[in-house]
Amino acid sequence: MIREPHPPAPTPSPGMRPTCRAPGMVAAMMIATAVVTIAVPDPATTAVNAQTRPATIRHTQGATTRQVDIDTLRALDRLHQFGYTINTPARATRAIRHWQHANGLTVDGIIGPETLSSLSLPLASTPAPAPAVRLTPPAPPAPAADPETIIRDVWPDDLEDHAIQIATRESRLQPDVRNACCFGLFQINWSAHHSWLAGEMGVSSASQLLDPAVNARAALALYQRDGWRPWDL
């Protein structure tokens, strides 16, 4: 048995909030064996317009389960707060249609995006857009110093010009030049000097001499041991 409901609420004006009739969120709309369900068309067979997403309310006698669209629940709760009687599916539908008419919306009894917006409710299924994040690109790597600059940084001022002349003659200032015996800017003979290069400078392989800074330091150490003689023609 469905008890005689309260008389209909007075018509609310747009923008005004009538006094709430009864406490509770959605319990008032579910009485006895009446259940509010949402009939959502199968997307495989029905084209659904996102702006008029159907969510019709129907009355199911004796149902034991409830399938209630979260947007519809929130809308009905808001209408209940505004003083509408929603204790049966029929009255809930009338409340929706009345609100739509009072607010200049399409009167279809459907809880869609426009009706939710008029109730100041966002779509529950629509995530809030992520804030824009400005990504700062990494700074480009610093350009490697050119071989001539490296030689000037390593060698004493009074020797650097002649050292550059030798490196230009030996390798054309190309740090990766190598042949059967000699490596790098100053074409240092690895076989002849590897023992002291390893012991005094930590240069343990010929490939390290292809680093222009390592080669320039090794060449200065070689000059300090033997003068310009290793590069005499």
The pTM score is 0.42
Q: What is the pLDDT of residue 148?
A: 94
pLDDT at 23 over 60: no
The predicted model gives 98-113 an average pLDDT of 90
Residue 176 in this model has a pLDDT that exceeds 80:
yes
Please determine, for residue 57, whether its predicted confidence score (pLDDT) is greater than 80: no
CA-closest candidate to residue 110, choices 91, 129, 127, 97 = 97
Which domains, ranges and CATH numbers included, belong to the chain? 27-118 (1.10.101), 147-231 (1.10.530.10)
Amino acid at 191: S
Range among 1-10, 101-110, 161-170 rated most confident: 161-170
* Other Cβ atoms within 10 Å of 233 Cβ, number: 3
Cα separation, 229 vs 233, whole angstroms = 9
